[in-house]
Amino acid sequence: MVLLEISMMIDIIDKVEIGKFQKLLNNVNRIVITCHKTADGDAIGSSLALCLLLRNMGKNATVIIPDQLPWSLNFIAQGKDYVTFSHQEIMAKNIVRNTQLLISLDYNDFNRVGAMKTCLEEAQVPKVLIDHHLNPVSQQWDVKFSHPEMSSTCELIYRIIEQCGWNSFVDKDIASCIFVGIMTDTGNLAFSSSYPEVYEVMARLMERGIDKPYLYKMAMDTVPLNSLKLQSYAILNKMTVIDDKFALIVLDKDDLDKFDYKPGDTERLVNRPLSVSGIYWSTFMREDAKYIKVSMRSEGDLAVDGLCAKYYNGGGHMHAAAGEHYGTLQEAIEIYYKIVEEIKKTKFNN
């Protein structure tokens, strides 16, 4: 009990950055919040939560997301307004042109916002970073909250709210968005969350009256039938397991067409092979329209963020990362087998 009270009192966010952030906010009204492309629960959850909070504080805040949300997140975005850059480019650019402050959530490199990159980079306004990914690109942000040790950007948002003393502006809707972000980025508190404070944040959110069973069902356990079939097909027919340790799942355009693929349909597929004892590295490749999307998950001491950065123009976290290959599926697979050889050599010395 005493421990709980003590840990809630620790202000882990840098006080100087908090001071700079509060000062910036005091001086502006129009604020734009952005997250990374192909938004996940943490990206959209943190963006909507911060937007609603700033509006409760009387600010004119707008969320701009780079591209269409996966269907799986519609439940959290329903009834909330946001702008989608890929569909509403002129409007989005106008809003950025007129904003007084830009806040970047759940990414730390403008390469992560797709076609929105130039527009954000060129904006001559103060920029704030709130993120938990490794290796932030330096010098692009005036205020930086970069905490790779934290479960999620949503947890970070909640801690900033607490430390700024903005708790009274948090309502059930905001708490639900933050809860969903933590839940999805940690696989319902399974990983990246082995410290007591994250449970304290969840407890504070529960106090706002959120509907936990509903949020869990919608965020973690609802898929359309075609997605269930596509994922089952992928595991049965398109998965290769190497040395009982590494798994590779590849879906080409024909596979996706056959199951009427929509963004979100392959969510969490890459995690599935890790449930087999012995498999500690899982890779999923999907032939998208403009590139090959490569996702990786790992367990133990194999870091996949470095692999995605080095070979697939990406990055992420130690055990969950992704990137893109601009070329053919065959090339992406060949690169993969080179990595396999490299890992075998360094890890097993054979």
- Residues at the interface with Mn ion (CB under 5 A): 42, 106, 152-153, 185
Q: Which is nearer to Mn ion, 188 or 330 (CB)?
A: 188
Could you tell me how far CA 58 lies from the centroid of its own chain?
A: 27
CA distances from 16 to 12, 105, 244 (A): 12, 19, 49
Binding string to ligand 5GP for residues 35 to 74, with x set by CB under 6 A, is what? -x--------------------------------------
Which helix H or strand E contains 256, and what residues bound it?
A: helix 253-258
Phi, psi (5° rounding) for residue 269? -55, -40
In the list 61, 136, 316, 336, the residue contacting ligand 5GP (rule: CB under 6 A) is 316
Q: Does 126 bind ligand 5GP (CB under 6 A)?
A: no
Q: How many angstroms separate the CA atoms of 279 and 253, rounded?
A: 27
Q: Does 320 bind ligand 5GP (CB under 6 A)?
A: yes
Burial status of residue 289 (CB atoms within 10 A of its CB: 0-12, 13-18, 19 or more): exposed
Q: Nearest Cα to 156, choosing from 317, 304, 18?
A: 18
Residue 112 contact, options ligand 5GP, Mn ion, none, Cβ 5-8 Å cut-off depending on partner type = ligand 5GP
Residue 322 contact, options ligand 5GP, Mn ion, none, Cβ 5-8 Å cut-off depending on partner type = ligand 5GP
Q: Which is nearer to ligand 5GP, 110 or 259 (CB)?
A: 110
| Count of residues of this chain found to bind ligand 5GP when the rule CB under 6 A is applied | 12
Q: Are 259 and 230 in contact (CB under 8 A)?
A: yes
In the list 48, 83, 112, 113, the residue contacting ligand 5GP (rule: CB under 6 A) is 112
- Smallest distance from the beta carbon of 322 to Mn ion, in angstroms? 12
Q: Does 143 bind ligand 5GP (CB under 6 A)?
A: no
Q: Are 292 and 329 in contact (CB under 8 A)?
A: yes
Q: How many angstroms separate the CA atoms of 288 and 219, rounded?
A: 24
Stretch that binds ligand 5GP, among 213-221, 308-316, 331-339, 340-348 (CB under 6 A): 308-316
Q: Which residues are near ligand 5GP by CB under 6 A?
A: 36, 112, 295, 314-317, 320-324
